[in-house]
Structure 1
Amino acid sequence: MKTLSSLLILVFLWTANATAADVTPQRELLKDAKSVMEEIMSTPDLQIPKGLIAKAKAVIIFPSMFKAGFFIGARYGTGVATVRDSQTGLWGPPSFITTLGGSFGFQFGAQAVDLVLLVMTERGIKGLLENNFTLGGDASITVGPVGRYAELGVDILLQGDMYSYSRSKGIFGGVSLKGTVIKPNLRYNREYYNADLTPQEIMMGGAVKQLPKSSQRLIKYLNQMAPPKKAGQEKKVYQNWTDNPKYGLVPGQGAWYGKQAGQGSFVVSQEGFKPRVMAQNSAPHQATKPAPQPRKPSSPLW
């Protein structure tokens, strides 16, 4: 009887330890990061444009970043970052990061903020791989467009090193990220991968040969939002519609025509690279034959 009781106790302790080991902060963070993305993308009018995610070079997610304020605001949070492979378009192994920042001004209250950052430029990637970088200083940051109609401008203009998306759960109306410092969480990385790896080795250096199981759901979801690139799929943006190969010159006339006659096109103007719809009088048109001239009346016979 004592032997049976001892075995039951050992089984209970082993199960408890296994459960505790499985529920690590890193695994919970990855799970919450996926939930944040799912919840943001489930609201059509507030979702991040998928076209923007497809163009992002990296994604940073802070689930429930904490912000408190009493005349001096403070922010702290732990998150995950993943970089997209420039060749395959697949999202790579996650690296854990920490954010810390402060702001001055009349503030009172506390809130938890879900924060998503899309890194759009090489400058932003360089900052992410450093020991620490400052938003608004080392890398510019802009509030990102939201909603289903924001997709229309994605192919036209990308401004800033990063786009930010926040979802607040408190009395603050918004989140100011300027001056926020982001740095790698080396302890979390070491515990998760059982090795001393830098963010660059994890996300871009190929040091992680097999994606940990607890990371796969988040990475799979991001790959669904921004499918891997295929050769020849990239969409080119032209400064002038006349540069687009689908338009051409009417032989011998110097006039432009389009394969899709009579349809306006989104183009990129030279003035600030802003989208506009081509005016009717400047839209490309099909070349037409000159209208036949009326016949001259024949001379009378008398």
Structure 2
Amino acid sequence: MVIYNIGTGLVISRREDGSWSPPSAISSLGVGWGAQAGGELTDFIIILRTNDAVKTFSSNAHLSFGAGLSAAVGSVGRAAEANLRVGDGGCAACCTYSCSKGAFFGCSLEGSIVTTRRRENSRFYGSQTITASDILLGSMSQAPAAAILYHALSDLYSTLS
């Protein structure tokens, strides 16, 4: 079965000093093929384990190729994916975890294009020239509007380490 996905989200990086970068807005559009049935709404956490992975997400656009397994029944669902991301910011392997809702089961091979939502970043930060690299790899201070996100990430990170 051929599938498609479309979505928007944020990417944020953990700095060497343990703090979190400001968030950068992204969007994705993809297609896939696999044995699947049903429909689901999914929230993803993409693990960028290296500085090269953050640089890849800092690019204007990149391609993602990978494989995944997913299941959801009602408000309980999980998925795991492994993928390779390639773009003008480099190439990096990433792991993806998620929580899903719906009635769905499947496994697939997928490809997607992920782009930086420059207009949203410009609006949020008040600068027409800001880039995802400035946000994720630069020395910008944390965004006060993302305080709830920083608190949730710190709580999550402290329980995992």
TM-score (norm 2): 0.71
CA contact (8 A) 1:135 1:180 kept: yes
Query: 1:157-168, aligned counterparts within 5 Å?
Result: 161-168=93-100
Query: 1:50-61, aligned counterparts within 5 Å?
Result: none
Q: 2 CA distance for matches of 1:175 and 1:198?
A: 35
**Structure 1 residue ranges without an equivalent (≥5):** 1-70, 145-159, 228-302
Instruction: Give the 3 Å change call, closer, same or farther, for CA 119–177 of structure 1 in structure 2.
Output: farther
How many Å apart are 1:96 and its aligned residue? Answer: 0.7
RMSD: 2.8
Q: 2 CA distance for matches of 1:220 and 1:175?
A: 33
| Other structure's SS at 2:57 match | helix
Cα deviation code 1:182-206 (max 9, x no counterpart): 2111121111111121111012212
- Pick one of 205, 217, 239 that aligns with 2:148: 217
How many Å apart are 1:117 and its aligned residue? Answer: 0.9
**Which position in structure 1 is the counterpart of 2:22?**
93
Cα deviation code 1:227-272 (max 9, x no counterpart): 5xxxxxxxxxxxxxxxxxxxxxxxxxxxxxxxxxxxxxxxxxxxxx
**Structure 2 residue ranges without an equivalent (≥5):** 70-79, 82-91
Bigger Rg over Cα: 1
Number of equivalenced pairs = 137
Instruction: Give the 3 Å change call, closer, same or farther, for CA 134–118 of structure 1 in structure 2.
Output: same
Instruction: Give the 3 Å change call, closer, same or farther, for CA 107–225 of structure 1 in structure 2.
Output: closer
Instruction: Give the 3 Å change call, closer, same or farther, for CA 219–116 of structure 1 in structure 2.
Output: same
| Other structure's SS at 1:173 match | strand
How many Å apart are 1:80 and its aligned residue? Answer: 0.6
CA contact (8 A) 1:112 1:168 kept: yes
Question: Which structure dedicates a bigger proportion of its chain to helix?
Answer: 1
Is 1:179 the counterpart of 2:108 in the alignment? no
- Pick one of 28, 32, 43 that aligns with 1:114: 43
Query: 1:133-212, aligned counterparts within 5 Å?
Result: 133-136=62-65, 143=80, 161-174=93-106, 176=108, 178-196=110-128, 197-206=130-139, 208-209=140-141, 211-212=142-143
CA contact (8 A) 2:33 2:109 kept: no
